[in-house]
C-alpha cells in the first residue's frame, strides 16, 4: 500500500494558526476519515517526520500521528510506535522541563530550542474512537507536545525563548548536534525515552 502524500502547509499559511475542530464520533466512523488517517500517516512517512498534525495538511481537525523508527531526520530520537491521536489532551505531570531542539515539516530548514514538560499524561481516542491514555516521558513527551501544539494553532517558533538558538539543519549538524546529543543522552538515561 503506497498512498500519495498530501501537500504540507508551510509557515505563513493561516490554517497553521487556527485551532482545529474536535472530531465527532460520527466523523470517526466514516470511510473518509479512516482514509484521511491513512494518508496522514503516509505523508509523515514520506517526509521523514516524527509526527504530523492534520492542520499541516490543510485539514482543520484535532488529529495527529506520531512514529519514530530510526528516523534519519532525528537520528537521536528514541523510537515511538505508530500512534494516532484523535482529540488529544495533555497535562503536565510534575514541574520538570527540558530543552528540546525542534524542527517542523511546516517550518522548512529551521530548528530552535524550546522548553518542554519532561512528563505528561496524554488522553485521546485512537483512530476508531477507543479511549487511549498514556504517561509519556522525556524526548518522546517533547514530540507529543509539539504535535498537539499544532492542533491549537501553535508552532515551535512561538516557544523559542532564545532566538540565538535558531539555525538551519546544516548548521545544526555543523555546530549544535554534538552538544545536543549529549543532552539527549542525559534525558534518555533519566526518563527512558
- What residues line the site for Zn ion (CB under 5 A)? 104
Nearest by Cα to 62 from 151, 138, 157, 154? 151
**Rounded to the nearest whole angstrom, what is the least distance from the CB of residue 130 to Zn ion in the complex?**
26
Choosing from 147, 177, 179, 185, the catalytic residue is 147
**Rounded to the nearest whole angstrom, what is the least distance from the CB of residue 107 to Zn ion in the complex?**
7
Whose Cβ is closer to Zn ion: residue 37's or residue 104's?
104
Whose Cβ is closer to Zn ion: residue 28's or residue 113's?
113
Read off the C-alpha cell for 157.
517558533
Per the CB < 8 A criterion, the answer to whether 109 and 166 are in contact is no
- Catalytic residue status for 147: yes
Whole-number Å distance between alpha carbons of 113 and 98: 10
**Rounded to the nearest whole angstrom, what is the least distance from the CB of residue 155 to Zn ion in the complex?**
7
Whose Cβ is closer to Zn ion: residue 19's or residue 192's?
19
Whole-number Å distance between alpha carbons of 18 and 192: 34
**Rounded to the nearest whole angstrom, what is the least distance from the CB of residue 30 to Zn ion in the complex?**
26
Whose Cβ is closer to Zn ion: residue 28's or residue 66's?
66
State the Cα angle at 131 between 127 and 135, rounded to 5°.
Answer: 105
Active site residues: 147
Amino acid at each position: 500500500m503506497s498512498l500519495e502524500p498530501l501537500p504540507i502547509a508551510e509557515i505563513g499559511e493561516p490554517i497553521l494558526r487556527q485551532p482545529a475542530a474536535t472530531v465527532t464520533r460520527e466523523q470517526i466512523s466514516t470511510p473518509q476519515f479512516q482514509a484521511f488517517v491513512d494518508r496522514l500517516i503516509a505523508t509523515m512517512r514520506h517526509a521523514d517526520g516524527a509526527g504530523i498534525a492534520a492542520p499541516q495538511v490543510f485539514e482543520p481537525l484535532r488529529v495527529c500521528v506520531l512514529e519514530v523508527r530510526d528516523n534519519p531526520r532525528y537520528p537521536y530520537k528514541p523510537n515511538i510506535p505508530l500512534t494516532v491521536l484523535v482529540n488529544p489532551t495533555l497535562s503536565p505531570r510534575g514541574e520538570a522541563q527540558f530543552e528540546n531542539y525542534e524542527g517542523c515539516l511546516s517550518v522548512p530548514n529551521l530548528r530552535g530550542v524550546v522548553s518542554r514538560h519532561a512528563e505528561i499524561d496524554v488522553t485521546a481516542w485512537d483512530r476508531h474512537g477507543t479511549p487511549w491514555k498514556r504517561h509519556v516521558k522525556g524526548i518522546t513527551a517533547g514530540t507529543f507536545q509539539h504535535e498537539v501544539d499544532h492542533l491549537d494553532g501553535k508552532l515551535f517558533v512561538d516557544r523559542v525563548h532564545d532566538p540565538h538558538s535558531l539555525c538551519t539543519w546544516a548548521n545544526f549538524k555543523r555546530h549544535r548536534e554534538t552538544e545536543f546529543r549529549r543532552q539527549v543522552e542525559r534525558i534518555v538515561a533519566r526518563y527512558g525515552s
